[in-house]
Amino acid sequence: MSYVRIWVHAVFTTRDRYPYCSSEIRKKLFPHIRDNCRAKDIFLDSINGWSEHVHILLSLGREQNIANVMRLIKGESAHWLNRQGFFKGKFYWQDDYFAISVSESQVGAVHGYIERQEEHHKAVPFDREFLMLEKVVRGEAG
């Protein structure tokens, strides 16, 4: 029997980082993404975000890869948002995303960080947060 536990912290943004995701939209969008993940056997531990981006913590299954999982999450959620009629034009996520592996010992810390996104972004704008995430990737975070 295979055992796979690969934790990934992913962040994806709205096209051009436009602040489409109001508090009211996030209250509907995040449960929808959670339900969609459950239906597609994607183990989503945490989801939260701010007006122009979403953070997720997920564990990949043995036959999943990050590119396909992100395509499923982003594609279906953009389609759902467009069907809801929240926006005058068509909604798109940015093509790219940020994804980094998370060691088992850090899952709790990342989960907490994601859960506190609204509080976090009252003090830290997304551009500054993104620079911090880039430092993590380069191994420069302290």
What are the boundaries of each domain within the chain? 6-138
Whether pTM > 0.75 for this model: the answer is yes
Radius of gyration for the chain, computed over Cα atoms and rounded to the nearest angstrom: 15
Residue 22 corresponds to which tokens in the numbers above? Answer: 């109001």
Q: What is the pLDDT of residues 48-71, one digit of tens each?
A: 998 999 999 999 999 999 999 999
Q: What is the pLDDT of residues 27-54, one digit of tens each?
A: 999 999 999 999 999 999 999 998 999 9
Angle, to 10 degrees, between the axis of helix 66-84 and the axis of helix 23-39?
Answer: 130
3-state class (DSSP) for residue 9: strand
DSSP 53: E
14 neighbors 78 (Cβ within 8 angstroms): no
Give the whole-angstrom CA distance, residue 82 versus residue 56: 21
Q: How many CB atoms lie within 10 A of CB 74?
A: 19
3-state class (DSSP) for residue 100: strand
Give the whole-angstrom CA distance, residue 137 versus residue 25: 30
Distinct helix (H) and strand (E) counts, the chain: 5, 4
Q: Which CATH architecture does the domain made up of 6-138 adopt?
A: 2-Layer Sandwich (3.30)
Q: What is the pLDDT of residues 96-106, one digit of tens each?
A: 999 999 999 99
- The pLDDT, as a whole number, for residue 132 is 67
If pLDDT is split at 50, 70 and 90, which confidence band does 13 have?
very high
> 């499923």: which residue's tokens?
72
